[in-house]
Amino acid sequence: MLTIDHLVKSFDGERRRRRGKQSEASVARVFAVNDVSLEVNDGELFTLLGPSGCGKTTTLRSIAGLERPDSGAITVDDRVFFQTNDRGRAVNVPANQRGLGMVFQSYAIWPHMSVFDNVAFPLQVRPRSKRLSKREIGERVGKVLETMELGKMADRQATKLSGGQQQRLALARAIVIEPSLLLLDEPLSNLDAKLRESLRYELKRLQRELGITSVYVTHDQIEALALSTHIAVMSAGNVVQLGRPRDIYQNPNSRFVAEFIGTSNFIPGIVRSRDGDRHTVETTDGRLALDSTATLPVGAEVVVSIRPEAVEISRTSRGGEVVNEWSGKVLTRAFLGDSVDHVIGVGKNELRTRNNPETSIEPGTTVYLRLDPGKLALVPVS
C-alpha cells in the first residue's frame, strides 16, 4: 500500500518588490503540491489526473524520490520513503534505494543496447547482495519479454522497434525488478491515437494479470476512465475529487471536475424543493427534477450538469405529466461514426446531445428532450 500524508512541495516563484523606504526583492513561493493526502491499495491502478501545472507529476516524482518535498510523509508497505518531523528533520530514502519501477513519457531506453540488454540492465547494476546469477537474469528477462510480446525481438536493437514496441520495452524494464510500486508518467502520450487506444487496454490487462500496484499520471480523461481503479482529480496542487471513475464521471463535485472529465451541458438554477435525494431545480427554461446525494439546501444556487448522452431526443412529445421534457430546435448536427451529436436551442441555452447514429435530425426541426433524473448531476456554485 502507498500512503501519502499531508504532502507539500513548493518552488521559488517570481521575484517581487516590496514597497517602503528600502526597496528589496522577495521571492513568492509556488505550491506545486499543497497538502495532498491519499492511499493506494495493493493491486490498484491509481490515476492522478489533471491539467498541466496541477501538481500530478510533482507528486509522482516525490514518490519516486526525484523531488524532495517540503513536508509530509510517503510510505510504501510500511517502509518510510520520506517523512518530516516537528524539528524540520526528514527521512529521505534516495531514489535508487526505493526499489520502484518507473516508465517515462520519453521511454528513456538505451539506444546502444539490444532489447534483452535494456531489460536486463536494472538487474545487472543491483547491489552485490541483491544481484542475481546470469542464468536467473536470463530467465526473468525472458519471461518478461514474453509477457510483453517482445520475446522474438530480444536480440534486436532497441531503436529498431516501433513506437508501441518501445513503450512495451520501457514497461518491461520497469517491471523486471518486480517493484512494490510502478510509477507511470504519461507513458502513452507520444503515441498516435489508434496505437494509444490499443496499448491502453493492453496496459490494463497486464497490470491486472501481474497485480502490480501502480500510480499513473495523465491529463487524458479517457485514459483515466478506461484504466483506473480510482482517480484523484487535481487542480492547483490540490486533490479536488477522489473516487472511482464511474462515480466521478456521473457525480462531479464541482464545475471544474464536470468540465474536465468528459463533456457536459451546464444549466444554472436554484433548488426549490428537496425530498430525500429528489431535488427540484428552477431554471430559466423550466423546472428540472433530479436525484442527487449532494447536501444543498433549498434556495441554494446550483448548476445542473447534463452529459450529452443523458439527453434523449424525439420528434414527438409524450405529453401528460412527463418529468423533465423540454422542447427545442435543432441548430446543427455532426455525424461522428459511432454517434451523432446535435446542438439544440432551448430558450437561451444550447444543449449538446449524443445519440445513436440512426437518430439524425435535420437542423430547424422542433424536437423534444427527455432528461432522466437519475443521470443529471447537481453541482454547487463555487
Partners of residue 184 on adjacent β-strands: 103, 216
Cell of 317: 412529445
DSSP 71-126: EEEEEETTEEEEEE-TTS-EEE--GGGS--EEE-TT----TTSBHHHHHHHHHHTS
CB 69 within 8 A of CB 9: yes
Scanning 211-254, the segments in alpha helix (DSSP H) are 221-227, 245-250
Strand, helix or coil for residue 9: strand
Strand, helix or coil for residue 266: strand
Partners of residue 349 on adjacent β-strands: 346
- Percentage of the chain beyond pLDDT 70 is 95
Strand, helix or coil for residue 298: coil
Mean pLDDT value of segment 164-179: 88
Query: Which domains are assigned to the chain?
Result: 2-250 (3.40.50.300), 263-380 (2.40.50.100)
The backbone torsions φ and ψ at residue 61, rounded to the nearest 5 degrees and listed phi first, read -65, -30
List the strands of the sheet with 286-291, edge to edge: 286-291, 278-283, 265-275, 301-306, 376-380
Residue 4: what pLDDT?
97
pTM over 0.95: no
Residue 371: pLDDT band by 50, 70, 90 thresholds?
A: very high
pLDDT in tens, 281-317: 999 888 999 998 887 889 999 999 999 999 999 999 8
pLDDT in tens, 359-369: 999 999 999 99
Higher-scoring residue by pLDDT: 121, 16? 121
Residue 214: what pLDDT?
94
Residue 264: pLDDT band by 50, 70, 90 thresholds?
A: very high
Residue 25: what pLDDT?
57
